[in-house]
């Protein structure tokens, strides 16, 4: 069966991705490969003197586990993916693989000229977080987030990414002598992700301008309300064990109703790590635990990493489309085990 969807793409350039979202079974379907990049370009982004062509690399990072015959190993309770959602209770906190794939290849090696490159980093893993570290150290400049260009470049020493998040960065391999092997590791577990083999010097007329874009800052003081969304585990309930505001997902229950055009502050409160994702419009992080946003919170975001016993305030304003939308944890096993809520835009 095929079905055709038509929708307007009226948004700024951004490193987006798409994936299967079937209720209760998103985790196993994304794990099996139903995901891809959706790169949006525009004149503003094209006009910047950033690396382009084969120096603009989309990198989709996932972790997977394999059976001895090479097939994917995923601990579904129901291998037909039809009746019972969820995974073996040992994996209820999220399915982690022992092999890291970048664009589908395990621990790949990519040859680059000793010049600046733009890396569009996507953590498409079901549950694994990464702190991407370059060894030897390589200058990293963040230029974009989930929702497109930042207003100004933002230097980072590493890139901390929760599932669903994207970081658009420029790295300068010109800092290294030809022949250098640069290893990208996950600093959270020490495991390798990929390597870059730095080739010869080459002409490079790119630079990172001091102003990348201009956009409005949503003003949390102008918010019409603050809504609290609590992400927590409910013990003793299998397999649907994850909750938002104490409730399992129910597509027929409206958990929030928000007016188009109004700024709201949404406070995400968490018991454990939960990467919180909001559909329809991107938001801006305005505070972490009542303080300044963190180093990985810049720009327009649609997914934000909430730490254990933490809370994060974001300013959000929905525009353009009335209808039913979702807020959910982007740890896909949490999502499948009911950590999702419905909001309607009116």
**Residue 284: beta bridge partners?**
300, 315
- Ranges of H-type helices in the chain: 26-31, 43-46, 332-336
Contacts of 221 (CB under 8 A, 6+ apart): none
Q: Does 241 bind Cu ion (CB under 5 A)?
A: no
Q: Which is nearer to Cu ion, 93 or 297 (CB)?
A: 93
The residue (of 172 and 336) whose beta carbon lies closer to Cu ion is 336
Pick 124 or 329: Cβ nearer Cu ion: 329
Q: Given the complex with Cu ion, which of 196 and 296 has the nearer CB atom? A: 296
Strands 274-278 and 303-306: antiparallel
- Token pair for residue 26? 């998103």
How many residues in the shown chain lie near Cu ion by CB under 5 A?
4
Between residues 129 and 317, which has the closer beta carbon with respect to Cu ion?
Answer: 129
Residue 329 interacts with Cu ion (CB under 5 A): yes or no: yes
Whichever of 94 and 148 has its CB closer to Cu ion, that residue is 94
N-to-C CA span, the chain: 33
Task: Tell me: does residue 154 bind Cu ion (CB under 5 A).
Answer: no
Residue 166 binding Cu ion, by CB under 5 A: no
Is the peptide bond preceding residue 195 cis, with omega within 30 degrees of 0? no
CB 119 within 8 A of CB 166: no
Looking at beta carbons only, is 123 or 331 nearer to Cu ion?
331
Under DSSP, the state recorded for 302 is S
Written as six digits, the tokens of 53 are: 């062509």
Pick the piece of the chain touching Cu ion (CB under 5 A) from 79-87, 152-160, 250-258, 272-280.
272-280
Q: Report the nearest approach of Cu ion to the CB of residue 126 (Å).
A: 11
Number of residues in the chain: 346
Q: How far apart are CA 3 and CA 336, in angstroms?
A: 24
Under the binding rule (CB under 5 A), the answer on residue 332 touching Cu ion is no
Q: Check binding of 334 to Cu ion (CB under 5 A).
A: yes
HEC readout, 131-180: EEEEECCCCEEEEEECCEEEEEEEEECCEEECCCCEEEEEEEHHHCCCCC
| Shortest Cβ 120–Cu ion spacing (Å) | 24
- Smallest gap from residue 227 Cβ to Cu ion (A): 18
Selected from 154, 274, 277, 342, the binder of Cu ion by CB under 5 A is 274
Which of the ranges 46-54, 106-114, 149-157, 330-338 carries the binding residues for Cu ion, by CB under 5 A? Answer: 330-338
Which range in 58-66, 211-219, 299-307, 334-342 contacts Cu ion by CB under 5 A? 334-342
**Among the residue ranges 47-55, 126-134, 178-186, 273-281, the one whose residues contact Cu ion (CB under 5 A):** 273-281
Should residue 331 be labelled a site residue for Cu ion when binding is judged by CB under 5 A?
yes
Angle at 24 between CA 20 and CA 29, to 5 degrees: 35
How far apart are alpha carbons 73 and 32 in whole angstroms? 9
Residues that bind Cu ion (CB under 5 A): 274, 329, 331, 334
């Amino acid at each position: 069966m095929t079905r055709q969807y038509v929708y307007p793409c009226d948004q700024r350039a951004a490193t987006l991705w798409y994936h299967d979202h079937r209720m209760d079974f998103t985790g196993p379907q994304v794990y099996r490969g139903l995901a891809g990049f959706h790169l949006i370009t525009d004149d503003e982004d094209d006009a910047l003197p950033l690396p382009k062509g084969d120096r603009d690399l989309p990198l989709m990072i996932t972790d997977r586990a394999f059976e001895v015959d090479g097939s994917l190993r995923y601990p579904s309770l129901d291998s037909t993916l039809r009746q019972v959602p969820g995974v073996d209770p040992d994996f209820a906190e999220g399915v982690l693989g022992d092999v890291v794939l970048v664009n589908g290849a395990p621990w790949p090696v990519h040859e680059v000229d000793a010049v600046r490159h733009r890396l569009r980093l996507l953590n498409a893993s079901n549950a694994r977080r990464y702190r991407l570290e370059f060894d030897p150290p390589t200058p990293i400049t963040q230029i974009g987030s989930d929702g497109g260009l930042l207003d100004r470049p933002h230097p980072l020493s590493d890139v901390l990414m929760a599932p669903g998040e994207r970081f658009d960065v420029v790295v300068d391999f010109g800092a290294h002598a030809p022949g250098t092997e640069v290893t990208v590791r996950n600093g959270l577990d020490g495991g390798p992700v990929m390597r870059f083999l730095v080739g010869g010097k080459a002409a490079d007329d790119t630079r990172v301008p001091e102003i990348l874009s201009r956009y409005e800052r949503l003003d949390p003081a102008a918010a019409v309300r603050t809504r609290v969304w609590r992400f927590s585990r409910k013990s003793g309930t299998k397999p649907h064990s994850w909750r938002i505001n104490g409730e399992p997902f129910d597509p027929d229950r409206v958990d929030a109703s928000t007016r188009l055009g109004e700024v709201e502050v949404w406070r995400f409160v968490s018991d454990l790590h939960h990467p919180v994702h909001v559909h329809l419009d991107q938001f801006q992080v305005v505070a972490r635990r009542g303080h300044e946003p963190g180093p990985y919170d810049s720009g327009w975001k649609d997914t934000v990493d909430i730490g254990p016993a933490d809370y994060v305030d974001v300013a959000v304003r929905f525009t353009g489309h009335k209808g039913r939308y979702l807020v959910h944890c982007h740890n896909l096993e949490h999502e499948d085990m009911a950590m999702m809520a419905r909001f309607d835009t009116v």
